[in-house]
């Protein structure tokens, strides 16, 4: 048994690390129980019966107000009502490689600012998962990468899986260098010695333009294999010290 503290929680939403603005997160998974109760003549203890219905996910965030660029207020305010969902990764035990992470395609449904006369201005937000809450692991911590080094440490999933998965890439806005480029891909291995590119497991290349490439969600096709060991690999180009700070998480399905 291994308990953990929430103090190191990493909360990545789109291309921003919002960890330092929040102090509490509730991630709820729900299953709709569909009733199938029928007449039960002669049954000694009649009872309701149910079948498994649809899954659902919901997130509640609590934190403190900050209106600076890339802080909590503009990040959520701008996302509320946006047509596209937000790439949301929550790692309650921190974002070290191998740490557990929940991956959600999220939709903000509520954002509240609390402004008391005798306290810190606080915020809370509510998020609806657009699809399932996927159970994953971090395969690249939120750290800077340069042209030195091309791959991360592998994560042992225990066994191969055959139902695809989902992966998130969050690159925060600290890209450096001249004409920097960065392509991140996912690799897997059956023996932790030779690693193969995962089919459709390459993220769109990033450069010095802050756009959708800094916040990507890949869905690996249902039925596709992910072998036992997984890792992240990268190719960084450019000059004058190209640097990208990003995190990657992968969930098997």
Partner 1 sequence: MSAYRVLRGLNYIPAGQVVEKRVEAGEIATDLLAVSIPWLLEDGLIEPVSDEGAQEAQDQAPAAVAAPDATTEPEAGS
Residues that bind partner 1 (CB under 8 A): 150-151, 185, 187, 189-191, 193-197, 199, 225, 227, 233
DSSP string, 56-122: EEEEEEEEE---STTSHHHHHHHHTT-SSPEEEEEETT-SSTT-EEEEEEEEEEEEEEE--TTS--E
Report whether 77 contacts 125 (CB < 8 A): no
Minimum Å gap between C-beta 194 and partner 1 is 4
Minimum Å gap between C-beta 195 and partner 1 is 5
Partners of 22 in the beta sheet? Answer: 63
- Residue 195 Cα to chain centre, angstroms: 23
Q: Specify the residue, 107 or 252, whose C-beta has the smaller distance to partner 1.
A: 252
Q: Specify the residue, 94 or 152, whose C-beta has the smaller distance to partner 1.
A: 152
Q: Specify the residue, 94 or 164, whose C-beta has the smaller distance to partner 1.
A: 164
- Between CA 123 and CA 2 the distance in angstroms is 31
Minimum Å gap between C-beta 145 and partner 1 is 15
Minimum Å gap between C-beta 186 and partner 1 is 11
Kindly report the number of other CB atoms within 10 A of residue 37's CB atom: 10
Minimum Å gap between C-beta 90 and partner 1 is 30
- Between CA 109 and CA 87 the distance in angstroms is 15
Partners of 27 in the beta sheet? Answer: 59
Q: Specify the residue, 22 or 229, whose C-beta has the smaller distance to partner 1.
A: 229
Minimum Å gap between C-beta 92 and partner 1 is 31
Q: Which 3 state secondary structure label does DSSP give 75? A: helix
Q: Specify the residue, 84 or 190, whose C-beta has the smaller distance to partner 1.
A: 190
- Between CA 88 and CA 86 the distance in angstroms is 6
Q: Specify the residue, 190 or 222, whose C-beta has the smaller distance to partner 1.
A: 190
Q: What is the 3-state secondary structure (H, E, C) of 224-238?
A: CCECCEEEEEEEEEE
């Amino acid at each position: 048994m291994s308990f953990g503290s929430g103090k190191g929680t990493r909360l990545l939403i789109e291309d921003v690390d919002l960890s330092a603005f929040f102090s509490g997160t509730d991630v709820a998974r729900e299953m709709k129980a569909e009733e199938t109760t029928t007449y039960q003549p002669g049954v000694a203890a009649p009872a309701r019966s149910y079948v498994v219905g649809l899954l659902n996910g919901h997130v509640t965030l609590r934190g403190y107000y900050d209106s600076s660029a890339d802080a909590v207020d503009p990040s959520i305010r701008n996302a509320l009502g946006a047509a596209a969902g937000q790439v949301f990764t929550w790692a309650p035990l921190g974002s070290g490689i191998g740490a557990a992470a929940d991956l959600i395609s999220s939709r903000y449904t509520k954002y509240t600012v609390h402004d008391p006369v005798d306290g810190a201005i606080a915020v809370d937000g509510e998020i609806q998962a657009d699809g399932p809450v996927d159970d994953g692991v971090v395969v690249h911590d939120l750290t800077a990468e340069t042209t030195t080094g091309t791959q991360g440490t592998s994560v042992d999933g225990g066994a191969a899986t055959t139902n695809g998965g989902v992966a998130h890439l969050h690159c925060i806005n600290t890209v450096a260098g001249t004409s920097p480029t960065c392509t991140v891909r996912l690799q897997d291995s059956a023996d932790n010695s030779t690693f193969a590119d995962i089919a459709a497991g390459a993220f769109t290349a990033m450069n010095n333009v802050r756009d959708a490439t800094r916040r990507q969600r890949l869905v690996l096709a249902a039925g596709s294999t992910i072998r036992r060991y997984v890792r992240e690999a990268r190719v960084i180009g450019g000059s004058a010290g190209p640097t990208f700070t990003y995190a990657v998480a992968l969930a098997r399905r």
